Amino acid sequence: MSAHGRSEAFPMSAPQFCWAPSAWVDGRWQPHVLMEAGADGHWAAVTPGVEFPPPDTLVLAGPALPPLVDAHGHAFQRAFSGLSERRDGAGDDFWSWRERMYAVARRITPEQLHAVATHLYYELVRGGYTQVCEFHYLHHDVDGSPYGDPLTMASALADAAAGCGIGLTLLPVLYERAGFQAAALRDEQQRFRAGAQEVRDLQRAIAAAGRAHVSAGVAVHSLRAASPASIRQLAELVASDDAPVHIHVAEQAREVEECLAATGARPIEWLAREGFLDSRWQLVHATHAAPQEIAAVAASGAGVVLCPSTEANLGDGLPDLDAWLAHDVPLSIGSDSHVTRAWREELRLLEYGQRLVQRRRNVAAAPERGQPSSAGRLFQRALDGGARAAGLRRWGLAAGARADLLVVDPKDHALLGVPADRLLDALVFSSPGRPWRDVMVAGRWVVRDHRHAGAAEAAARFEGAMHALWHEDSARR
């Protein structure tokens, strides 16, 4: 049993062999796919073109898709979703949203974080994700003092992931100052405090715990929240690792302006100039990236994590999607503040934002590359890029990858009558729907016939945590 009272075993066993009438393999739909899950929870073999399923093979109820990695999230912010959508003053932007967000960051307890994260992770699995990268900076107690166990908050997240059956990449965050010109953190940020050595120690402790389907990288909150010396120290501490390194960068135009004033360079330009970027680095948002910066990222091998629903919710702006795609920069998606918790919606919003600003359709499609489907191109890029962002060597329906899959419900109203080769197009651009009939993680079913064991209990505990965080606080005021 976990520290929070839930078993870490996945809830439902799965057969060794399963067969799909069609499946997304090697970047396209392929017919009659036989999949063999090994005892280690990874695919032993994935074979298209097996017209008839062998005896004792489970025939899936619909086409199979590999799930995506949610490459960036802050679980505690799920407790804030929908609670910042009013404006009482003359203006509202990212910076005013951040001040209101601190209300939950200052108060949430380990028990409440576990309740919120558990409910969130159930939602993410039902939204088509089976791995989430947690950008984790709630390190300390509510008054900023260290917990006796430095992994208290990280363990709450890991227990939540184990309880609902999602993989987790924990990214402890370097966070030491309130801005480029600040020497320290503000009072409401004291929970976030962690230097380079502390981050390295947390990463090692998470890895040493040996939890199933939990891995660890590191993160830098942002250039404004960490000094150049500390960023360099952390980079040196993890120089021999192949674990991912994430950073918020160029999310806001004001951040770019402040970075220019403080360093003489734009944020991504500075990272490239200082020699930090390589294939382990993941640039989260990178909304305000200049053409020369995108070229530098491409040359370095680093990836970019786009978070369309949060970037829209916060008014961040739109990324230069054309340039990121044209330079073949590894691309993944994240749900960030979790105002949306399904990858179909993220990909739809990513494409629709470009259509609105460019006033043309199917912006992401590349027929000259043999990729006429906007949904297909974005999905495959996010599939490949998400694996790198999570530090996973293999991902998807392929031998050696973890045995994860989504079974599409062909009876979903949005998909009725859709030709097989247009199914992904309809999944992304026809909504609403409840398309995932079954979900497998590491060779075990976590969702069967739309039922996810434990989800109702988790929702009740989430509701209790929300009441404690918000309703009781309102009553006191």
User: What does each C-alpha distance from 246 to 36, 43, 169, 249, 389 come to in angstroms?
Assistant: 33, 28, 11, 9, 8
The answer to whether 194 touches 240, Cβ cutoff 8 Å, is no
Half-sphere exposure of 269 (CA within 13 A, CB side): 13
Which among 351, 377, 354 is positioned nearest to 366, based on CA atoms?
A: 377
Residue 129 is inside which H or E element, if any? strand 129-136
Catalytic residue among 74, 285, 338, 452: 285
Q: Can 288 be counted among the known catalytic residues?
A: no
Active-site residue, 285 included: yes
Give me the DSSP letters along 279-324. TTEEEEE-TT--HHHHHHHHHHT-EEEE-HHHHHHTT-----HHHH
Q: What is the DSSP string of 61-120?
A: SS-EEPPEEEEEE-GGGGGGTTSS----SS---HHHHHHHHHHHHHH--HHHHHHHHHHH
C-alpha–C-alpha distance, residues 394 and 290, integer Å: 31
Distances (CA, A) of 162 to 3, 155, 203, 378: 11, 10, 18, 29
Out of 320, 336, 425, 438, which one is annotated catalytic? 336
Sign of CA dihedral 120, 126, 131, 132: negative
Q: Is 267 exposed, middle or buried (0-12, 13-18, 19+ CB in 10 A)?
A: buried
The sign one gets for the Cα dihedral 189, 194, 195, 196 is negative
Return the active site residues: 285, 336
